[in-house]
A and B are shown apart, each in its own frame.
Chain A
Amino acid sequence: MAIRKCTLSALVWLLSVSPWVQASPSDIANQGLGENIAPCSSCHGAHGEGNAAAGFPRLAGLGAPYLEAQLDAFASGARENAVMQPIASALSTDQRSAMATYYSQLSAEGAQASKGQSDNPPDTGAELAEHGRWANDIPACVQCHGPAGVGVGEHFPALAGQPAAYLEGQLRAWRNGKRPGGPMGLMASIAAKLDESDIKPVAQYFAAQSPAPAKGLDHE
């Protein structure tokens, strides 16, 4: 009997978890999973383009390690977010990794829909974004995030075309300790040096940039 009980419970367990383990990242993105995981696309768009009006960020084309670190931080609560926390913690470690890869492979070009907010960003935002404020040891944002915030490598996500409200929220989250400081604590340290009056203009500057990088600026 003991064997039978074991077998049955194993069976029940396997059947109950199988829908989770078999769902592909694309399924999870578009259909969600079980009761706790809404489709990512419902907020982040069918192509991971985000939703400017609602302030949901673009995911398409961001670095996989960056996205995975964010999902892990949501799951652990290190990055505070009431919507993402339950979703990320319902995903397994492997699923978080798979979702990060999935979105990193969607093209930013397909994410054009998120552009179009704040077409006239204030000059003060451009000044900080393009030149920084070295008197306070603040490098230009574009030094790490690329020209117009198109992104650099896997650890410096694109800012171009991200919703202004989202970018603003992140800078505040770093200042308030509600988001981990990122690699080497770089963003926490920079956000701490910003003035409150810097935040909106610089967020608006990047929101107004096109998310699809124009290739071939370089001679090489």
Chain B
Amino acid sequence: MSNRIPLLTVAVSFAMLAAVIFWVGTRDQSAPTPAQAKTANAAPAARGDTTESATKSEDVAVSGNAASERSEPLPGAAQPGAASAADDFAPPARSEIPDDEFGAMVRKGRDIFTDTQQHADQFVGNDLQCANCHLDEGRRPDSAPLWAAWAMYPAYRGKNKHVNDFAERIQGCFRYSMNGTPPPRGDEVLVALESYAYWLASGAPVAKNLPGRGYPELEAPEQPPSFTRGKQVFADHCALCHGSDGQGQRAADGSLAFPPLWGPRSYNWGAGMHRVNTAAGFIKANMPLGAATLSDQQAWDVARFIDSQERPQDPRFTGSVSETAEQYHGEHSMYGQTVNGVVLGQNAPPSGTAAKVNQP
């Protein structure tokens, strides 16, 4: 017994020493780790993509029917992704933009389209780019391609109950989807975008509803779209890029990478994409980017979830949410509806942005 005690004492001392070393070592290593990982995850600020929503209403325009903004089913576009058969219209290749004055304007339009913040900042009131909702620089079928839209105007639009030319149609994108101030008629921004769309439509038939136009119209889902299921779809398939808070992410250089899908820097309550059916069609055909694999039901559910979040006010706001809902919002809009105890639109950030002077 007696000769064991010193040994034990030594052993215990070593053990305690080792434990201290262990503790210090662990502390050094782990202190920055989890904390950092968490903050970084929660932090992504916002910005980016998807919604040039008014687009879908773009389809609508043509049908000539004033009715709602509901787009008519587009022949050939019913199957997302199926729109680009070999004999379908294809816009000219990027490399074919002519090297002349007109070509310069086309390039300007393309630059505005893909980096709207940089090239048309004064008309934009959020963190979206045209190309967020019109993928592949406005070339992709089923993603409201410009080549399919251009030759469908002038057209009557139920949204504003008169015949719109293409310039006015683009102005609508700025007002609603970009939550901004429309460029005035004749402004170079508008002319450049018109030039780009016109060039993309080179050789397209006029006033013909081309396959791939707008977003596909999905069949009504088997089960009514569900916020709760949609929330899960969002977490599983969308949050990686758009953030668990839906506010998007910026790249390491500060530029917009993934767009915010709701909140003050996203599309407003007047944008086409705020309508659940429009968003569902876009999502089904195009999301997740390059791997559009959601079922119809998932697309409907997640569209319902995204479009049940607060966003900038409808620019046509009359002062009353219920009145505005009554006047401007149809069956596919969540505006004015109560979700989780809150009336959507009630706490909407103001629409639009202070008009800035256009630099020549």
In the complex, the answer to whether A108 meets B252 with C-beta atoms within 8 Å is yes
Judged by a CB distance under 8 angstroms, whether B223 is at the interface is no
Chain B residues whose CB sits within 8 angstroms of the CB of A150 once the complex forms: 251-253
Tally of A-B residue pairs with Cβ under 8 A?
A: 168
- With a cutoff of 8 Å between Cβ atoms, the chain A residues found around residue B19 in the complex are 14
> Which residues of chain A are near B258, meaning CB under 8 Å?
152
Q: Which residues of A lie under 8 Å from residue B220 when comparing CB positions?
A: none
Interface residues of B in 283-308 (CB under 8 A from A): 288-292
| Interface contact B33-A98, CB-CB below 8 Å | yes
Contact of A14 among B14, B84, B121, B249 (CB under 8 A): B14
* Chain A positions within 8 Å of B21 at CB level: 18, 21-22
Q: Do A184 and B288 touch (CB < 8 A)?
A: yes
Query: Which of B135-143, B167-175, B197-205, B319-327 touches A?
Result: B135-143
User: What is the bound-complex CA distance between A65 and B33, given in angstroms?
Assistant: 10
CB of A104 to closest CB in B, whole Å: 7
- Report B-chain residues with C-beta under 8 Å of the C-beta of A146: 251-253, 255, 257
Q: Nearest chain B CB to A174's CB is how many angstroms away?
A: 13
A interface residues, tally (CB under 8 Å): 64
B208 within 8 A of A: no
Residues on B with beta carbons closer than 8 Å to the beta carbon of A7: 7-8, 11-12, 15
Main secondary structure of the interface of A (DSSP, over half): helix
Contact A184:B240 (CB < 8 A) given known A14-B15, A137-B290, A215-B254: yes
What's the Cα separation between A101 and B40 when bound, in Å? 11
CB <8 Å contact, B117 and A94: no
How far does the Cβ of A83 sit from chain B's closest Cβ, in whole Å? Answer: 23
Q: A8-B11, A218-B250 are in contact. Are A105 and B36 (CB under 8 A)?
A: yes
Q: How far does the Cβ of B48 sit from chain A's closest Cβ, in whole Å? A: 10
Kindly state the separation between the CA atoms of A3 and B83 in the bound complex, as whole angstroms.
77
Total chain B interface residues with beta-carbon distance under 8 A: 55
In the complex, what residues of B have CB within 8 A of residue A214's CB? 253
Is the Cβ of B135 less than 8 Å from the Cβ of A144? no
> CA–CA, A94 to B32, complex, Å?
12
The answer to whether the Cβ of B237 comes within 8 Å of any Cβ in the partner chain is yes
Q: A189 contacts B4, CB within 8 Å?
A: no
B252 near A15 with CB under 8 A, answer no
Bound: A70/B44 CA distance, A? 22
CA distance A214 to B127 in the complex (A): 20
A186 to B240, CA, bound (A): 11
A-chain residues with CB within 8 Å of residue B41 when the two chains form the complex: 65, 154
- The 8 Å CB contact of B8, one of A4, A104, A190, is A4
- Of all chain A residues, which has the CB nearest B44? A153
18 additional A-B pairs beyond A64-B40, A218-B254, beta carbons within 8 Å, are A4-B8, A21-B22, A22-B25, A61-B252, A64-B36, A64-B37, A94-B30, A102-B32, A131-B94, A137-B291, A144-B257, A152-B250, A155-B240, A158-B252, A189-B290, A213-B251, A214-B253, A217-B254
Residues of B participating in the A interface, judged by any CB pair closer than 8 Å: 4, 7-8, 11-12, 14-15, 18-19, 21-22, 24-26, 28-30, 32-34, 36-37, 40-41, 44, 81, 84, 94, 117-118, 121, 127, 135-137, 139-140, 237, 240-241, 249-258, 288-292
Closest 9 A-B residue pairs measured CB to CB? A146-B251, A22-B25, A213-B253, A98-B29, A14-B18, A139-B290, A134-B136, A150-B252, A101-B33
